Amino acid sequence: MKTMRSSTWIRVTAIIAWLALWPAAIPAKEVFQTPNNGHNLGVWRITREPAVRHWANYHNTQCWSPDGRYLCYTRYAPHEGRYSDAADEIHLYDLLANQDRLVERGFNPRWAKSRNWLFYVRITGTGRGKASRLVEVRWLDLDTGGTKTLATGVEALGETTHDDRWLLGSKRFRGQTPEFVTVRIALPGGAVEELREAVGSQWMPNPRHPVFFTRQDHKSEPFGATRWFYDLDGRNQRIAVPTLQQCHMSWIGSGEFLLLGNGLVRGRRWNEPFPSNVHILASIGVGDISPCGRSGRYVCGDHNVADLRSGDGFHFIEPLSIICYPATVKDDSGIYDADPKGSPDGTKICFVSNYDLKDGLLTYIERVSKADRDVLRVRSTDGFPDKGAVVLRREIVGYERKTKTTFEGLTRCLHDTLQVQPSPGMPVTSFKARCLTDAQWRQIPGVSPPMRHSIGEEHPVLLRQRQTDVYVAVVRKPDRPHLRMAGSAAQLIPGEEHYETAGYHLLRDGRKITARPILTGMSVELQPGEHRAVAVEWSGLESEPSPPLRVAASAKLQVLADPPKDFSWTSDRWLEGRSVREIVHLHDGVIHREWYRGNILTRRHDLNADGKAIRRLAIENGKLAQREYHDRDGKLLNREIFDAEGFITESIRYGEDSGKPFEAIHWWFEHGTPVRQTSKDGEFVKQGDQWAATKPSERAEKKRKRAR
């Protein structure tokens, strides 16, 4: 492999290559809008081959390069299994060149934390059968073009440690116990060290701190581990998350929290193993949870983005990715899950979907009535055929006729699919659009084993459902840079999030004066006038212009790599005789408001872009006593109560019935350990190492009364 260069040399090389490609080649990605599907700034279709599965890694495993220029994904062999075939392909999509690149055959692509190093597994061998194959870990340096075989015998990969000194993974010994042995591979040398004390799978290092987690289920033990924490040498095992709190998990971009999904965005601090607090971090919920940027400000899920500065969030898209399985299949979502991941600055989210998000028909359930047993009431039936089949989640529903807002003459559970209860806002899609055309079906030599295994040969129509393609949703613009005078010189300060920023355009008196973006480290002569700067990502995505800087006489502008030490994005503003302090952002206005009694802080509100108080904190004796989350209309969503030691003692999730709030789920804790919970499912309490029901659920109680 070519010698690894210094970061400065690498950036210069990359910049030269970037300038050579500006403007970019003919775009390979397809760009479109989804006005009927979420709040985003556009969607990019990266792959368009619905007969073959394309996957951009699991939701907690990064697909974006550290600078946001590249996306990695796996193109699976169309007729083979998952994770294990020598014909699988590693692909890179270069957002600068707008080109797709086949790296080579392989699987498990993984990025380094701070360098454009891509690692993956490939299988070689001349004989037949798994015993004859050679498993290699490959290393590709995108900045130098160097490649090499790093190690052999390691079949599954986690990610690199926070300092890029180690790549975690696992050897596999088929037919032996244990079958998997955790290892770490030294970088750059490639020495493989077994970590026999570290058990489980996934092997996910924290992006900033010397710890990693693994997954090992103990489903019969409520207070046993579902995730373990380890030091980087595989020792010092401690419970990260117990089975009782099991859900989808990932690290936040800043490394501060291990994020927990399948509910309101929440997390456990990286250095506080169980028992400890699980903090509610935002007012919106997600399923699969993922980092959205390296700063830790943003978090994303399948449909939503959370801004942890205020605790607010928004719905960016409905991926519409589902497979209509027979009712006998309980759950096999792995081959269609969206698995979202945010880019380094949180401006874009990569995900996969097996639905055509550009041209596939889409409407939504408008309302539901008990009398509508033979009718689906939707927002619009425009574009749908007069007679056909629609999909509600995983159920296929046939209809005989339609009006402008209804599908009528229903046949439920077509092809033995599972019946779904419609609810207002539920997406309704076309089953025909979910299936391969005859031409696409002929492209593949056979049905993939995962589809055949789940669906079975007795449902041939269901076997023709599309596989996943790779998409990117643009969820926000890059952060604006800032211009200021420093003595007689001017400075261009990069935006708060600027990992993906490749350069800047300059405007004078409203007109662009740069033919090509200027780069970090350059000096530019500014003529008198009103100047603004625009940040440009590798992808070509541009920020809003910076606030204006009036230059009275010619001045030299220095393009900085990072904000100077004397610069701050926020300032304090005191009101009402210094009893109220507002934290004012240079670009965003008031983002926090605090109340004081003398010099003692008593309350704090974290405000969204519209000035609404989403997160509300109450402080007693200098310590957090209560934390609430409200929606944009001021409705209470969640309340946490803290004791004097800083432990959460109660966490209450509120619902609404006839305009009045009620306790939907109420948890009680003792020093970080759940001890009681009440909800519509009944009451549960901790009894020794078990989680025992003490009261029947509302559902069970109603069933008992009906039986009388």
Dist CA 280 CA 283 (whole Å): 8
Assess whether 554 and 574 both reside in one domain: no
Assess whether 700 and 678 both reside in one domain: yes
- In a domain? residue 416: no
Question: From the CB of residue 41, how many other CB atoms can be counted at a distance below 10 Å?
Answer: 14
What is the chain's percent helix, strand, coil content, to nearest 5?
10, 45, 50
Given 522, 537, 559, which residue is the final one in a domain?
559
Q: Which domain, by its residues, includes 494?
A: 482-559
Phi-psi region of 383 (alpha: psi -120 to 50; beta: other; left: phi over 0): left
Cβ 201 vs Cβ 174: under 8 Å? no
Dist CA 635 CA 285 (whole Å): 15
Residues 6+ apart with CB under 8 A from 516: 19, 22, 503
The amino acid present at 459, given as its one-letter code, is H
Residue 5's pLDDT is what?
A: 34
Q: Give the total number of structural domains in the chain.
A: 2
Question: From the CB of residue 324, how many other CB atoms can be counted at a distance below 10 Å?
Answer: 25
Dist CA 173 CA 169 (whole Å): 13
- In a domain? residue 692: yes
Assess whether 528 and 636 both reside in one domain: no
Residues 6+ apart with CB under 8 A from 20: none
For residue 541, what is the domain's CATH number?
2.60.40.10
Question: From the CB of residue 683, how many other CB atoms can be counted at a distance below 10 Å?
Answer: 15
End-to-end CA distance of the chain: 77
Question: From the CB of residue 633, how many other CB atoms can be counted at a distance below 10 Å?
Answer: 6
Given 535, 559, 583, which residue is the final one in a domain?
559
User: What's this model's pTM, rounded to 2 decimal places?
Assistant: 0.94
Q: What is the DSSP letter of 23?
A: S
Cβ 459 vs Cβ 326: under 8 Å? yes
Express each pLDDT in 359-405 by its tens digit. 999 999 999 998 888 999 999 999 999 999 999 999 999 999 999 99
Q: What is the dihedral of CA 614, 619, 623, 629, to 10 degrees?
A: -20
For 623, the enclosing helix (H) or strand (E) is strand 623-630
Cβ 410 vs Cβ 387: under 8 Å? no
Dist CA 561 CA 43 (whole Å): 30
Could you write out the three-class secondary structure of 225-243? EEEEEECCCCCCCEEEEEH
Assess whether 598 and 681 both reside in one domain: yes
Dist CA 570 CA 591 (whole Å): 9
- In a domain? residue 459: no
Residue 22's pLDDT is what?
A: 42
Residue 698's pLDDT is what?
A: 64
The amino acid present at 700, given as its one-letter code, is A
Dist CA 506 CA 33 (whole Å): 28
Given 499, 528, 559, which residue is the final one in a domain?
559
CA 17-64-289 angle, to 5 degrees, is 165
Assess whether 544 and 583 both reside in one domain: no
Phi-psi region of 688 (alpha: psi -120 to 50; beta: other; left: phi over 0): left
DSSP helix/strand/coil, 343: coil
What is the token pair recorded at 262? 């399948």
Residue 419's pLDDT is what?
A: 96
- In a domain? residue 345: no
- In a domain? residue 689: yes
Dist CA 694 CA 491 (whole Å): 65
Dist CA 700 CA 705 (whole Å): 9
Express each pLDDT in 107-116 by its tens digit. 999 999 999 9
Stretches where the chain sits below pLDDT 70 are: 1-27, 79-85, 126-132, 697-708
Dist CA 563 CA 437 (whole Å): 54
Assess whether 555 and 594 both reside in one domain: no
Phi-psi region of 611 (alpha: psi -120 to 50; beta: other; left: phi over 0): left
Cβ 675 vs Cβ 686: under 8 Å? yes
Dist CA 46 CA 223 (whole Å): 42
Assess whether 586 and 700 both reside in one domain: yes
The amino acid present at 543, given as its one-letter code, is S
For residue 659, what is the domain's CATH number?
3.90.930
What distance lies between CA 665 and its chain's CA centroid? 26
Length of the chain counted residue by residue:
708
Residue 23's pLDDT is what?
A: 39
Assess whether 555 and 599 both reside in one domain: no
E-strand stretches of 270-357:
279-286, 290-291, 298-300, 304-307, 312-315, 341-342, 348-353
Assess whether 551 and 575 both reside in one domain: no
- In a domain? residue 39: no
- In a domain? residue 298: no
Specify which residues 227 forms β-bridges with.
215, 241
Express each pLDDT in 599-650 by its tens digit. 999 999 999 999 999 999 999 999 999 999 999 999 999 999 999 999 999 9
Cis bond leading into 23, ω under 30°?
yes
Residues 6+ apart with CB under 8 A from 658: none
Candidates 134, 182, 186; CA nearest to 158 is: 182
- In a domain? residue 304: no
Assess whether 524 and 488 both reside in one domain: yes
Residue 68's pLDDT is what?
A: 98
Assess whether 502 and 582 both reside in one domain: no
Q: φ, ψ for residue 267 (rounded to 5)?
A: -165, 160
Q: Sort 689 into a burial class: Cβ within 10 Å, 0-12 / 13-18 / 19+.
A: exposed
Assess whether 677 and 586 both reside in one domain: yes
